């Protein structure tokens, strides 16, 4: 039996691997990666490496074994056929007879186009008959704190979310929930709605940035069409810009407020405050 993590060298995958190795012997963990050079450090610690690509179905043939617990971290290629990519993994897991497949999805309340691939993947997973866990991850702090340069340059937080609030948490928080599911018992066929303990508005986000930088960071609310234009002007492909602006529209509707408490319960601790992630980003 092994715990298998796909996308193990990605942003979320790295956090999962670090926390997993604190609880499980390295030789019981398999990291699925596209580029083994990025996982040299994991291999040196005794983790098994498997080289596979969501876009190459044959690379998953025989990768899983009966009894494995698998974490399928959703592909990062938004706008591509992510449902098809994920279906490859689910099919290989079913063929092997894995004990559990956990999937990092999106909040059940999210209607934005960003959620379409997740809903499609959930359907495939439930129809597969595999024992599953749906980890419906809410928004990440890092979606904002990793992109502070333009905010600081222009002195403004530009958004199309109105007065909507976001129950975001850090990637490390979501990783802790995934590790709890992979190492614990009794999670089969459960759906967890995951989000931060404290929801925040973009006005509060701008105020916290102002406090920590000692500069006036303004809140600049715009409509979704204007935000799409701004993001396109910054170099994003228009379809992706529209998807991101659509998330802000969902925020305005309250679709990224998560009140279940599932994340802090699974992690066994309160979730990371946004202010803490801002501090870390400014130091970094």
Average pLDDT per run of 10 along the chain, which is 284 residues long? 94 98 97 95 97 94 96 82 94 97 97 93 98 98 93 96 98 98 97 98 98 97 96 91 94 97 98 97 90
Q: Residue 77 has what pLDDT?
A: 72
Q: Rg for the chain (alpha carbons), in Å?
A: 19
Q: Residue 119 has what pLDDT?
A: 96
Residue 194 φ then ψ, to 5° = -110, 130
Long-range contacts of 37-44 (CB under 8 A, 24+ apart): 38/9, 39/8, 39/9, 42/8, 42/9, 42/17
| Alpha-carbon gap, residue 78 to 155, rounded angstroms | 29
Q: Residue 79 has what pLDDT?
A: 62
| Alpha-carbon gap, residue 221 to 62, rounded angstroms | 50
**What's the CATH fold of domain 3-138+171-194+259-271?**
Rossmann fold (3.40.50)
3-state secondary structure of 137: strand
CA separation (Å) from 45 to 16, 25, 234?
A: 15, 10, 40
| Alpha-carbon gap, residue 167 to 101, rounded angstroms | 25
């Amino acid at each position: 039996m092994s715990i298998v993590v796909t996308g193990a060298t990605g942003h979320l995958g790295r956090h999962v691997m670090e926390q997993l190795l604190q609880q499980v012997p390295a030789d019981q963990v398999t990291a699925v990666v596209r580029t083994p050079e990025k996982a040299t450090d994991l291999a040196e610690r005794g983790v098994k490496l498997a080289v596979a690509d969501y876009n190459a179905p044959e690379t998953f043939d025989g990768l899983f074994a009966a009894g494995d617990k698998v974490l399928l971290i959703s592909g990062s290629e938004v706008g591509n056929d992510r449902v098809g990519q994920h279906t490859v993994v689910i099919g290989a897991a079913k063929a092997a007879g894995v004990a559990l497949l956990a999937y990092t999805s999106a909040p059940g309340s999210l209607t934005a186009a960003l959620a379409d691939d997740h809903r499609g993947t959930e359907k495939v997973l439930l129809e597969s008959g595999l024992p599953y866990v749906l980890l419906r991850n809410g928004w990440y702090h890092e979606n904002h704190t990793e992109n502070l340069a333009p905010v600081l340059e222009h002195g403004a937080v530009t958004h199309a979310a109105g007065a909507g609030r976001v129950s975001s948490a850090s990637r490390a928080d979501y990783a802790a929930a995934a590790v709890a599911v992979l190492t614990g018992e009794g999670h089969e066929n459960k759906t967890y709605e995951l989000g931060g303990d404290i929801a925040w508005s973009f006005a509060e986000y701008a105020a916290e940035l102002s406090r920590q930088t000692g500069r006036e960071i303004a809140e600049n609310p715009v409509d979704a069409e204007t935000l799409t234009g701004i993001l396109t002007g910054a170099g994003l492909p228009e379809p992706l810009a529209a998807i991101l602006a659509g998330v802000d529209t969902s925020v305005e509707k309250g679709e990224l407020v998560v009140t279940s408490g599932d994340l802090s319960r699974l992690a066994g601790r309160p979730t990371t405050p946004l202010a803490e992630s801002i501090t870390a980003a400014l130091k970094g």
